[in-house]
Amino acid sequence: MEIQIRKQSHREQLRQRFLLNQRRITFAFIVSLSFVSSLGFLYLYQANQLVALVNRKEALIRERFALEKDRDAQMQEEVHLSSLQRIEYLARDRLGMIVPTREHRITITKP
């Protein structure tokens, strides 16, 4: 039994190496492109999330400002409604009360 070795020409060997290298380069390019694409997607996703968070923060700041303004108005109204002059005015006009004098005072002594 005799083994036959087939000799390839130099040109054929170069062509096979070139095709092998071309496949490797293509595979490396596809892997690199996939990696860069995934990084780009991740960057855009995070940028979008950041913009959404900034918009939410600004909306919450505006809402807080409106609530503080409303609270201040209600506190001012409370101060106005609970002022002693207003209470005295309402007691005199609506309830018919008068400021007590000496004749209206009753003293009770202890036995």
pLDDT at 11: 83
Asked whether the beta carbons of 86 and 80 are under 8 A apart, the reply is: yes
The answer for residues whose C-beta is within 8 angstroms of residue 97's C-beta and 6 or more apart is 91
- What residues make up the domain containing 46? 12-98
pLDDT at 5: 65
Asked if residue 72 is part of any domain, the answer here is yes
Task: Give the chain's domain count.
Answer: 1
Q: Burial level of 65, CB count in 10 A (0-12/13-18/19+)?
A: exposed
Asked whether the beta carbons of 98 and 92 are under 8 A apart, the reply is: yes
Backbone angles phi, psi at 64, to 5 degrees: -65, -40
Asked if residue 63 is part of any domain, the answer here is yes
pLDDT at 12: 84
Asked if residue 111 is part of any domain, the answer here is no
Vertex 27 angle, CA 21 and 30, to 5°: 140
Averaged pLDDT in 10-residue chunks for the chain of 111 residues: 70 85 93 98 98 98 98 93 86 86 84 77
Q: Provide the whole-model pTM.
A: 0.54
pLDDT at 84: 86
pLDDT at 92: 87
